């Protein structure tokens, strides 16, 4: 373990004395074999913690990281330099040691695992982890609700044509034809739905005041754009528009992804308008692995 051995040996003895399961102890100690150059900074963080409970949380994070590295069979230096590893480990462990909520602790574990195993740039990982360290558990719950809820503010009018009786037609060719079309934004309309703020508060089982506060904190991080939409309760109407016969035959043998864009006079739904590209990427990061 080189120059860090004087710091790591007492650390190993400390970990062995903690009231942790054998699995967590073993995983934490095995990590030192993978990234021995981070041992000094790990020892420093653990040394700053006065309570056994904080040290146990740190070891829990380290053990989880070791398990993810073993499962992915990734060399810790494949995506990060030694200095970058030390920086991310140090900052993440400091946050983990004072985190009281299991939801956030689990997100920190996944985030650190993502940093070691994903090919994204260090700058991207650094931003994600920095934002995560500032999030509360309520923000993380609300973030999931904003991006993963079925949108109650969408009304669909019409539907794709049903597949006709096959007769003598080629089934795959007809199926391709009848499915051609798109959902076209038509208008915004008042509908029997609560304001977005109430919908989100009910969704996460929180009061509206706390939900609004968490939403505005997420807005400030660029993860959402809830502020202008919290009191909206209008619906966006989507109308099914089949392609013309000419378009159908031109596309009968082609496949692709259709992206709908609203015309300027039709606003996205309150929930859709509250989402950002950064927020979508960040949620994937938090749920990694």
Whether 245 and 162 share a structural domain? yes
Nearest alpha carbon to residue 239 among 194, 188, 286, 285: 188
Whether 124 and 152 share a structural domain? no
Q: Residue 51 above 80 pLDDT? A: no
Whether 148 and 280 share a structural domain? yes
Per-residue pLDDT at 234: 95
Whether 149 and 277 share a structural domain? yes
Whether 30 and 67 share a structural domain? yes
**Cα distance between residue 82 and residue 77, in whole Å:** 7
Nearest alpha carbon to residue 233 among 284, 207, 198: 198
- Full residue range of the structural domain in which residue 154 is found: 144-286
Whether 165 and 109 share a structural domain? no
Six token digits for residue 167: 């007769």
Whether 157 and 100 share a structural domain? no
Whether 69 and 159 share a structural domain? no
Confidence tier at 263 by pLDDT (50, 70, 90):
low
Task: Name the one residue in this structure whose structure tokens are 């309570």.
Answer: 51
Tell me whether residue 139 is in a domain: no
Whether 7 and 82 share a structural domain? yes
Confidence tier at 66 by pLDDT (50, 70, 90):
confident
> For the chain, what is the mean pLDDT?
80
Domain count, the chain: 2
Confidence tier at 58 by pLDDT (50, 70, 90):
confident
Bridge partners of 183, per DSSP, are 240
Six token digits for residue 253: 């043998």
DSSP states along 2-28? GGGHHHHHHHHHHHHHSS--HHHHHHH
DSSP states along 50-71? -SHHHHHHHHHHHHHHHHHHHH
Whether 82 and 157 share a structural domain? no
Tell me whether residue 46 is in a domain: yes
pLDDT tens digits along 142-197: 999 999 999 999 999 887 755 544 433 343 434 444 457 888 999 999 989 999 99
Whether 220 and 248 share a structural domain? yes
What is the total residue count of the chain?
289
234-242 and 181-190 as β-strands: parallel, antiparallel, unpaired? Answer: antiparallel
DSSP 8-state class, residue 146: H
Tell me whether residue 176 is in a domain: yes
Q: What is residue 221's three-state secondary structure?
A: coil
Whether 125 and 155 share a structural domain? no
């Amino acid at each position: 373990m080189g120059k860090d051995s004087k710091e790591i040996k007492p650390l190993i003895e400390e970990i062995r004395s903690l009231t942790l399961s054998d699995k967590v102890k073993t995983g934490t100690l095995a990590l030192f074999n993978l990234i021995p150059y981070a041992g000094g900074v790990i020892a420093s963080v653990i040394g700053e913690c006065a309570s056994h409970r904080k040290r146990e949380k740190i070891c829990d994070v380290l053990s989880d990281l070791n398990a993810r590295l073993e499962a992915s069979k990734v060399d810790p230096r494949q995506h990060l330099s030694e200095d970058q590893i030390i920086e991310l480990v140090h900052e993440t462990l400091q946050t983990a040691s004072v985190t009281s909520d299991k939801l956030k602790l689990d997100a920190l574990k996944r985030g650190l695992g993502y940093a070691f195993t994903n090919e994204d740039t260090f700058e991207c990982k650094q931003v994600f982890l920095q934002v995560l360290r500032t999030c509360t558990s309520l923000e993380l719950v609300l973030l999931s609700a904003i991006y993963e809820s079925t949108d109650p503010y969408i009304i669909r009018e019409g539907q794709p044509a049903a597949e006709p009786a096959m007769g003598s037609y080629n089934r795959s060719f007809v199926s391709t034809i009848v499915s051609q079309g798109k959902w076209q934004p038509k208008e915004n309309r008042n509908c029997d739905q609560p304001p977005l703020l109430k919908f989100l508060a009910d969704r996460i089982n929180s009061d509206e005041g706390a939900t609004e506060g968490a939403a505005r904190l997420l807005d400030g991080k660029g993860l959402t754009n809830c502020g202008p939409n919290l009191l909206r309760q209008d619906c966006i109407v989507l109308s099914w528009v089949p392609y013309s016969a000419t378009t159908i035959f031109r596309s009968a043998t082609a496949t692709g992804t259709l992206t709908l864009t609203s015309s300027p006079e039709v606003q996205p739904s309150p929930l859709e308008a509250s989402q950002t590209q950064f927020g979508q990427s960040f949620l994937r990061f938090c749920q990694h692995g």
